[in-house]
Structure 1
Amino acid sequence: MKLNSRLYLFVLPLLLLSGCTSNQESEPVENTPKLVFRLSNELKPDSRIWEISNLFRNELEKASPDGEIEAGEIKVIFYDQGTVGSERQLLESCYFDVLEMVQVNSSILTTIDPAYSILDLPYLFVTEEQHARVLNGEIGRKFLQRLARFNLHGLSFYSTGFRNLFYKYPVDSIEVKSPRDFHGLKIRVMESPVMINSINAIGATATPIPFSELFQSMKTGVVDGAENSARIFMSYKYYEAGCNQFTLTEHFANQHILIANAKWFASLEPKYQKRINEAIIISQQKFDEIWKHTTEESLCEMQKHGVMVNEIKDKTPFITRANKVIEQFSDRYPMESEELLFDIMNIRNESFDNK
């Protein structure tokens, strides 16, 4: 893992500041904590994805169902909203033993393990059921286990649905049938070769720019739109930048991941390891419901602001083009992707056949 030691010097002083903790702290408890650790993410509460850390933290500080751990025996110091760095910095801080646990988008892991790029491939997932089956099954466990070589312990994936295209269009609505319908649209993407190739493949023109510049870039016409979840669209009010179309392309699946420092996790008493895994299962179930409701709510909200929500009745033309991107990835990273990609593709084909 290529790590920048200067980031360690940057993050450590921030962690020593008690004022960095989230304003949304858990209720104080009477017991003196026996296990205290730090958990951080880069998200703000209204993104809703923030709730992954919040639900996990709140559950962990309760008494365990078997009574082995009392309420307040575990204390989680929660840093959010990027107060201690970007996702890349959080990942490195976890490696350096500065943070015991972090929540990040799985895409950031491509910086240390190319195999994680598999999860960014277009139309690799065609249903939420298939997505959950991969993340929560044997394939997901194999991805998590790969982090051990980087002094990281992968705890769990959390599905955050699918990414879609949103953009300004000169007419009120358009029935999207093929990649040709996106021709000429400049769509902002992250600086990821897989994402750039994917957006180009499904008909638009990928334009990498920083996320912080996106709103203004749409407003001034540097780009016509971008791609992300319905909740992110509403959270950042992209309709105010002129976006009047939100098309359910569902081209990328999204997932966040909870990661612990491997040495720290291995040093814990078995009862605490058990409790952490138990809290993950409970928070996963609660988050799935929150995210489903959030997506539905966001789609309704954007229509109230005059945004057209378009469905694609048949995604076959898009999937056919996306398959070429998947083939190119496999050629570039054959040793990293062969088994994992083959297994996911088999599940995808089963799911697609059953739709």
Structure 2
Amino acid sequence: MPPKTTRPRRVLFAAVAAAALGMLGLGAAPAAAQEWRGWNIHAADYPNGIGMDAFTRIVGERTNNRIRMRTFHSAQLGQQDEAIQQMRLGTIDFANFNLSPFNNLAPTTNVVTLPFLFRNVAHMQAAIDGPAGEAIAADLEKIGIIALSWYDAGARSIYTTRPVRTPADLRGMKIRVQTSDLWIDLMRNLGANPTPLPFGEVFTSLQSGVIDGAENNWPSYESTRHFEVARFYSTTEHSNVPEVLAVSAQRWGRLSPADRTILREAAQESARIQRAAWAERERVSRERVVAAGVTVIEITDRSPWAALMEPVYAKYASEARLAALVRQIREMP
């Protein structure tokens, strides 16, 4: 006859096993999926859209879709100034931003906006992946934006309705610029008459003679068909402002260290994809406008142009911290 304690022990063991299984079940349950909204001003097939879609895909794969991201391309969630505010409030979770609109919010962004700062694309990428990026990321974090990686946005050059080979050729010409004090001062110091206009008005303004030229990168010049009314492209490459892929600090604060690592690595991989796509897009755009009969004026010596920018540097990078960063970037090999 079995001992009297056998049945109670069996009941106890069964209860413990059931509780353990219940705890295992709770531990194995998938965490609730997070739905993230992303902002992008460009179309989905633009290099930046390609990079952002790669970012969202990689994050989804590596989190088993615990973090599900959707990018709203073509400024569906508003223009950039609106999107910046939404990200700071936490209603947009991630975005790709141009750095120029941050000039008044994050002082170090003024440095990479300065004209003729970078020698070439490789120099810009080394700076933004190094000291410049670190300084800007620290400033952005103070306003609620976490920088994860840096995208290319191309070198901007001047295109006009008549040839421009030297700064003297710009005298008296009305050149469209962004609505920015720095850009107005840049063009004024080159001898031109800076004319702030919305980007969407550039084509008709060139066509009607309201302006004599504008400035932008190869893909923008080609995709907007500005080359049809401004047939001379001078490779001044006066500006090469990178862009940031970032997330809201509010979202970032709720992530585990492991998920933060996943996002940073995914963002850096997406930057490599975006940069390669950008280089290819530039090549194709240049070939298209040349085939359409545009005259490309190669500016091989930019020192006479850069020499005219001393007042701009004095005005926008005289503060000790900014001046030190400018020196550091210029001294990079």
Pairwise same-fold verdict (TM > 0.5): yes
Q: Deviation per CA, 1:123-156, whole angstroms, max 9, x where unpaired?
A: 1112112211111013311211112222222222
CA distance in 1 between partners of 2:143 and 2:315 (Å): 27
Which whole-Å CA distance do the structure 1 matches of 2:273 and 2:300 have between them?
30
Partner residue of 1:100?
Answer: 93
**Unaligned regions of 5+ residues in structure 2, if any?**
1-29
- One-letter amino acid of the counterpart of residue 59, structure 2: L
Match in the other structure for 2:261:
274
- Give the distance between the partners of 2:220 and 2:84, measured in 1 at CA: 22
The answer for unaligned runs of 5 or more in structure 1 is 1-30
Secondary structure at 2:108 match in 1: helix
1:207 to 190, 195, 200: 195
Whose Rg is larger? 2
Q: For residue 13 of structure 2, what is the aligned residue in structure 1?
A: none
Q: In the alignment, which residue of structure 2 is the partner of 1:51?
A: 50
Query: Of 194, 207, 222, which aligns to 1:234?
Result: 222
Question: C-alpha displacement at 1:264, in angstroms?
Answer: 1.4
> C-alpha displacement at 1:303, in angstroms?
0.7
Q: CA deviation at 1:32?
A: 9.3
Q: Which amino acid aligns with 1:34?
A: A
Are the structure 2 counterparts of residues 217 and 268 from structure 1 closer, same or farther at C-alpha, using a change threshold of 3 Å? same
User: What is aligned with 1:341?
Assistant: 323
* Residues 1:272 and 1:349: Cα distance change in structure 2 (over 3 Å): closer
Tell me which residue corresponds to 1:8.
none
- Provide, for residues 44-80 of structure 1, a one-character-per-residue CA deviation record: whole Å limited to 9, x for no partner: 2354333332221222222x3xxxx43x343112211
Structure 2 CA distance for partners of 1:200 and 1:47, relative to 1, 3 Å:
farther
Instruction: Give, in angstroms, the shift of residue 313 of structure 1.
Output: 1.8
Percent identity, please. Answer: 23
Opposite residue 34 of structure 2, the aligned amino acid is L
Q: 1:79 aligns to what? A: 72
Counterpart in 1 of 2:309? Answer: 322
Structure 1 vs Structure 2 CA RMSD: 2.0
Distance in 2 of aligned mates of 1:157 and 1:111: 20
**3-state SS of paired residue (1:161):** coil
1:243 aligns with 2:230: yes
Taking structure 1 as reference, are residues 309 and 55 closer, same or farther at Cα in structure 2, changes over 3 Å only? farther
Residues paired across the two proteins, number: 304
Partner of 1:137: 130
Inter-partner Cα distance in structure 2 for 1:101 and 1:207: 33
Cα distance, 1:315 vs. partner? 0.7
Residue 175 of structure 1: how far off its partner (Å): 7.0
- Relative to 1, partners in 2 of residues 1:175 and 1:298: Cα closer, same or farther, differing over 3 Å? same
* CA distance in 1 between partners of 2:266 and 2:50 (Å): 13
Question: Any conservation in 2 of the 1:120–1:195 contact (CA below 8 Å)?
Answer: no
- State the distance in 2 between where 1:84 and 1:290 align: 24
1:188 aligns with 2:187: no
- Tell me the SS of whatever aligns to 1:267: coil
Q: Is the 8 A contact 2:111 2:325 kept in 1?
A: no
Superposition TM-score, scaled by structure 1 size: 0.80
> So what's the TM-score if we normalise by structure 2?
0.85
Deviation at 1:33, TM superposition (A): 7.2
1:247-268 Cα shifts (integer Å, max 9, x gaps): 1100011211122111210211
The DSSP-based 3-state class of the residue aligned with 1:166 is strand
Cα shift readout 1:300-346 (whole Å, capped 9, x = no counterpart): 11011111111112111001112331122234xx2xxx224323334
Residues 201 and 321, structure 1, Cα contact 8 Å, conserved in 2: yes
Structure 2: which amino acid aligns with 1:118?
A: V
- 1:52/1:344 Cα in 2 relative to 1: closer, same or farther (>3 Å)? farther
Tell me how far apart the structure 1 counterparts of residues 211 and 164 of structure 2 sit (CA, whole Å).
21
CA shift in 2, pair 1:88/1:111, >3 Å: farther
